[in-house]
Amino acid sequence: MACAWALAACGVSATGVPRAVTSAPTTSAAGGDGSSTTNAPSSGGGKLAPRVAQPKNLRGLDPCEQLLTPQQRAELTFTKAGEKLPPSHGMEGCQLFSSDLGIIFTVNANRDGLEEAYRNRKRITGFREVQVDGYPGIRSAPSELSCRLLLGVADDQDLAIDFTRVGSRKPEHRDPCAFTETIARMVLPNLPEGR
């Protein structure tokens, strides 16, 4: 039930996979919140998504145990590792909730990375390109309480982070999209290097 509520609050489908629409990339405005936006240059071979220069590997990771350390979970007000979500379309997920906030991680290690999202950009509410510590990402579904970040960690892998502010009044949680990027910055060093 909590999972369905958070997914609805974030404005994403239960599968977390956008539907197909072909569209050319555009340039987005620079972010004023510490993130940087990217132009979406074609990376050759008809690809729309930016290439990942220093890939990470999500294959075989337990999203509840390995994306955040116990110290990071405690810092985010979570008292346990999280609840695994049933696999959907080959993707593993984990939800973490406290009285302050909720996070859902969805690991996509077996598809086209960000490419599918770039092909579907017209159907993704609030599509905005960002860079998080050198990794390409897409912000979507922004609201006063929630935001989604799809982070390309390899050319064929991405990590979706859905953040919802539940009861928190902390200043760092006021901008859900900026805080979603903060969560991504916490996760990135925990991921093993890819090829």
The DSSP call for residue 105 is E
pLDDT bin (cut points 50, 70, 90) of residue 81 is confident
- Closest C-alpha among 111, 62, 74 to residue 186: 74
Instruction: Identify the pLDDT of residue 16.
Output: 39
Which pLDDT tens digit goes with each residue over 86-104? 888 778 999 999 999 999 9
Over residues 63-72, mean pLDDT: 95
Share of the chain above pLDDT 70, in %: 77
Q: Is the pLDDT of residue 13 over 70?
A: no
Which pLDDT tens digit goes with each residue over 124-144? 999 999 999 999 999 998 899
Share of the chain above pLDDT 90, in %: 63
In whole angstroms, give the CA distance from residue 165 to residue 115: 28
DSSP code per residue over 125-178: TT-EEEEETTEEEEEES--SSEEEEEEEEETTEEEEEEEEESS---GGGSSHHH
Instruction: Identify the pLDDT of residue 110.
Output: 79
Strand order in the sheet with 101-108: 83-88, 91-97, 101-108, 157-165, 146-154, 135-140, 128-132
User: Structure pTM?
Assistant: 0.77
Which pLDDT tens digit goes with each residue over 154-164? 999 999 999 99
Q: Is the pLDDT of residue 8 over 70?
A: no
Instruction: Identify the pLDDT of residue 1.
Output: 33
Q: Is the pLDDT of residue 7 over 90?
A: no
